[in-house]
Amino acid sequence: MNIHTGKYKCTECGRCCVSGSELAIHGRSHSGERPFVCTVCGKRFSKSRSLAEHDRTHRGEKPYKCGVCDKAFTRSSEFYNHIKIHTEGKPYKCSLCDKSFKVPRSLSKHKRFTHSDIRPHLCHVCGTQFTTNRDLKRHVNIHSDAKTYSCRHCSDYFRTSARLQQHLLTSHDDDTRFSCHVCYKKFNRSEHVKIHLLRHQGVKPYVCNECQKRFCTAPELKRHQAVHSDFRQFSCDKCGKCFKSKSVVVRHFERCSGSRLSSRWKSLHCEMSQT
């Protein structure tokens, strides 16, 4: 009832919380306050629970296991989001588009992020506004010229460790920490190996409710589900034509404008073209 009455409502983004303590924790996402620090890697968190869940990644603990496909998770939120793929039906339908959801919380988040004009997080460099603080942090990297991660084989520098690991793998065939024991294909992340092994095993736990087509990963299922919907959330800045996916609108924009986008500007263009 506190959510429905707006008793604990955030003045920044309009989100309604259950209690005053939850509102205070939510307020940290706007202020940037992160008082809980990981003693291993120094990463900071706004919630003590988030720190506790993060600690499991250093210990390799995955206590939340799916009883259907045996997939395990570090965080309870990841586990509960996962098990929804095994349940039938999506009774909660968006009144503004044809998209449906299995739980009311997902529907509420969809309306707030997709159909709402409230974007309280502002980039002070280019003025682009974002719905969440996480999206803003991911965006501001495109404005930074700081490249702190250097390649030990050549003179290239990178903004993130993920970009460096990908460079080592593709350019120098160096990153051999993660490889498939079946075909010996190499990867720069352990989770990519796990997904790749599912293809060898023929495991496809993600099922489309519309056509029963199966997929190895949730992102693949999500991309596929767009074919069953008429909702087009990405638009071309040049001609205004709308598309269902980021990759399609980027290819169209390059043809429409007659110029190719770099990887960093592809990401920015997709963020700014969402309707």
Q: For residue 44, what is the domain's CATH number?
A: 3.30.160.60
In a domain, 256, yes or no: yes
Q: What is the count of structural domains for the chain?
A: 2
In a domain, 270, yes or no: yes
In a domain, 71, yes or no: no
User: Of 9, 43, 58, at which residue does a domain stop?
Assistant: 58
Q: What is the pTM of this model?
A: 0.35
In a domain, 243, yes or no: yes
pLDDT tens figures, 182-233: 887 777 677 778 788 888 888 787 888 888 888 888 778 877 887 787 777 7
In a domain, 168, yes or no: no
> Are 274 and 233 within 8 A, CB to CB?
yes
Band (pLDDT 50/70/90 cuts) for residue 253 is confident
Residue 250 belongs to what domain range? 232-275
In a domain, 240, yes or no: yes
In a domain, 8, yes or no: yes
How high is the pLDDT of residue 188?
67
State the average pLDDT for the chain: 76
How high is the pLDDT of residue 87?
67
In a domain, 241, yes or no: yes
How high is the pLDDT of residue 70?
74
